[in-house]
């Protein structure tokens, strides 16, 4: 199994959607030039991270942001894990959605954030995504030339099932575009990614936007990649930039062979049931 080069794009999000698309294209050109295989983007990369503004930026599948990512993937012959954008669903609701594109620009995956970020951080911060967003209802995987992979988004990582379900389906790499803040980031960012990597013996790829101290929501930044043994392979600071990290998906097999956690599950005592279209139970 070949090694994979992942380009983490930690961009500073601007007010104008099309300025963000243009900046993204420039940063991806750099990542592609560095021979990255997969481009990983942040959560809500095309709009400010403000709940009340998500509906105004929302666009349907195959809208302008979708088309930009598809075109860039095809022109550069790269996979793109498209962070997330506000999606206007066919039902008229708005979702926090990640699209995944193959080298030919075709959509090979999609994840709608399941767990919405509604918090009351000891009076320091109040944020309710549920005011304008609707949660998704599945944790699906997608196939690549290397291995099976998956996506969950930001707050999803705090729920063990969000990573365990893809791992049970065979995922070895799980992407988590995220926007932790200055309260939750220092406390839990690295811990969460190492924890999910160890539990599920997968690579966890967390990509965040660069910190903007003038924004109403100040993100933590610190895009990160952890390996199946729980080690931090890469962690950026808060500034805008691109970081290329090489991973070996075969290492997940090695760790799982040495420490066979998933086969050791006591499914006679407990089990994880879920609905995800065709799969009903593991």
Residue 50 · residue 216 · CB < 8 Å: yes
3-class SS at 200? helix
Rounded Cα distance, 159 and 141, in Å: 17
Token pair for 124? 């320091």
Rounded Cα distance, 108 and 203, in Å: 20
DSSP strand pairing (94-101 vs 85-88): antiparallel
The residue from 47, 147, 154, 243 that is catalytic is 154
Q: Which of 56, 100, 109 is nearest to 79 (CA)?
A: 100
Token pair for 88? 């206007």
Beta-bridge mates of residue 143? 148
Looking up tokens 């666009």, which residue turns up? 59
Rounded Cα distance, 157 and 150, in Å: 12
Q: Which of 133, 42, 41 is nearest to 87 (CA)?
A: 133
Whether 143 is catalytic = no
Residue 172 · residue 252 · CB < 8 Å: yes
The residue from 43, 59, 129, 238 that is catalytic is 43
Looking up tokens 């006679």, which residue turns up? 268
The dihedral sign for the CA sequence 245, 249, 254, 256? positive
Phi/psi for 18 (5° steps) reads: -75, -25
Whether 154 is catalytic = yes
User: Could you give the angle at which helices 17-33 and 64-76 cross, rounded to 10 degrees?
Assistant: 10
Whether 243 is catalytic = no
Which residues are known catalytic residues? Answer: 43, 113, 154
């Amino acid at each position: 199994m070949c090694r994979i080069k992942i380009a983490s794009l930690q961009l500073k999000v601007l007010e104008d959607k099309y300025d963000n698309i243009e900046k993204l294209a420039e940063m991806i050109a750099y990542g592609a030039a560095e021979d990255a295989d997969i481009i990983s983007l942040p959560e809500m990369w095309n709009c400010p991270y403000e709940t009340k503004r998500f509906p105004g930026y929302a666009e349907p599948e195959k809208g302008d942001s979708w088309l930009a990512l598809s075109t860039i993937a095809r022109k550069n012959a790269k996979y793109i894990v498209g962070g997330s954008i506000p999606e206007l669903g066919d039902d008229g609701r708005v979702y926090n959605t990640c699209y995944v594109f193959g080298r030919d620009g075709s959509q090979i995956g999609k994840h709608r954030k399941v767990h919405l970020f509604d918090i009351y951080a000891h009076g320091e911060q109040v944020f309710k995504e549920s005011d304008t967003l609707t949660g998704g209802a599945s944790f699906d995987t997608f196939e690549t030339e290397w291995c099976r992979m998956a996506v969950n988004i930001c707050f999803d990582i705090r729920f063990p099932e969000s990573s365990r379900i893809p791992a049970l389906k065979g995922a070895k790499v799980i992407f988590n575009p995220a926007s932790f803040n200055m309260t939750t980031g220092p406390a839990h960012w690295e811990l969460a990614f190492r924890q999910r990597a160890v539990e599920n013996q997968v690579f966890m790829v967390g990509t965040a936007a660069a910190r903007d101290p003038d924004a109403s929501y100040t993100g933590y930044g610190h895009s990160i990649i952890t390996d199946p043994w729980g080690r931090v392979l890469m962690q950026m600071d808060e500034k805008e930039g691109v970081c290329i990290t090489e991973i070996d998906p075969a290492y997940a097999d090695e760790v799982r062979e040495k420490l066979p956690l998933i086969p050791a599950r006591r499914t006679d005592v407990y089990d994880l049931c879920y609905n995800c279209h065709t799969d009903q139970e593991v």
